[in-house]
Amino acid sequence: MSVFSLATIIARPSHEASVREALIKVNKKVKETEKGTIQYQLTEDTDKAGVFYMWEEYVDQSAYEDHVNSEAVKSFQEETRDKLDVKLIMMKGCRTELSEDETSEDGSTTSSKSKSEIPEYDDENADLILVSSDETRFKVHSYYLKAASVIFRNMLQNPDSMAQSGERPMIHLTDSTIETANILRAALDVLYGKQFPDDHRKYHARLLKVIRFLQKYECEGSIDKIRLLLHRWITSPDTSAAWSAFIVSAALDDIVTCSRAIRRAGNWGIRATDEKQGSRDSSSVFDLGNLSLEQFSQIPVPMLWAILRATKSQRTLPQKNDGWSKVASRFCELLGVEGKC
């Protein structure tokens, strides 16, 4: 079972050259001295100055720990002391490959050529396999991933060094919170440019996790597509869609779009369905005292604070659209973007 990780190293301004030199040095030293290191590939972001990526793979956990405690790593840390903004492990996990019809540890027989459980991503012409955290395989075209994500682009620069399934390189995703089959499928739909589902009530909770996936892999263009979707929701005849737009905008830290949703959805009433922790009848979904626990927990703390303060500034809960426009303006002011709302 091999262990892999993807590290992002960001140099502080004016230290890019010395950090690059230190990375090249540690890269060479690791390849020369660490027998347990399968892959140690350094790449530099061509769009962002001072950003480097290190794709690493080790024969097992022990080899990984030997690397972390090696003299090469200690020397690198000493050379780059006070020169880095962040050294962040973006992805770390384990993978094991079973050959065709090989017996697994529990005695069952597993085929390495098993079909994807997602028909839309079972294209025999695809050149890459993504494996979700719950072991569902997606046959995908690497072009879409490389076009959308600088992280995937750097990972796929040397596919020959990666695990293989037949003739295809394979990437195992390990984060069970945002890399399950359901979330991965929805994220791939965004990367492939497919149409978003129409039912915002069912989709917005999943979209929150898709956003976290896209943020993890730095898919900025795909996130912009979601912003366009939110504007469609806000202008939808179904006023309740603006509430979904507010929740998703808050996850994106998009204060301006949140304020537009407040203006649109302020007078939309809600009705309780859960006697234990549900909401009561209210003149507005933004009457926070009447939200269900689930609704309340979806709003980031800064947004909650701003709405509470903004509605309090009106003394009573607004009953007309112009009142909610004032709440939206105050909301932006409290969060420091009053000139943009």
Residue spans of the domains in the chain: they are 1-90, 114-215, 235-340
The pLDDT tens digits of the residues spanning 84-108 come to 875 554 455 554 343 333 333 333 3
117 pLDDT tier (thresholds 50, 70, 90): low
What is the CB neighbour count within 10 angstroms for residue 13?
A: 8
pLDDT band (50, 70, 90) for residue 61: confident
CA angle 82, 85, 89 (to 5 degrees): 115
Unique residue bearing structure tokens 């839309």: 120
> Is the pLDDT score of 8 beyond 50?
yes
328: Cβ–Cβ under 8 A, 6 or more apart, which residues? Answer: 259, 260, 262, 263, 266, 310, 341
Q: How far is CA 13 from CA 10, 48, 77, 83, 316, in A?
A: 9, 11, 18, 8, 50
Q: Each residue of 252-278: pLDDT tens digit?
A: 999 999 999 888 866 555 444 444 444
Mean pLDDT of 161-173: 71
Q: Looking at residue 95, what is its pLDDT?
A: 46
Asked, colleague to colleague, whether 1-90 and 114-215 share their fold, the answer is no
Tokens describing residue 188: 């791939």
1-90: CATH topology is: Alpha-Beta Plaits (3.30.70)
Q: What is this structure's pTM? A: 0.62
Question: Cα(3)–Cα(56) distance, rounded to whole angstroms?
Answer: 8
| Residue 262 three-state SS | helix
Q: What does the CA dihedral 11, 16, 20, 23 come to, rounded to 10 degrees?
A: -20
Looking at the structure, give the CATH architecture of the domain made up of residues 114-215: 2-Layer Sandwich (3.30)
pLDDT at residue 283 is higher than 90: no
The mean per-residue pLDDT over the stretch 153-169 comes to 68
Is 17 exposed, middle or buried (CB count within 10 Å of its CB: 0-12, 13-18, 19+)? exposed
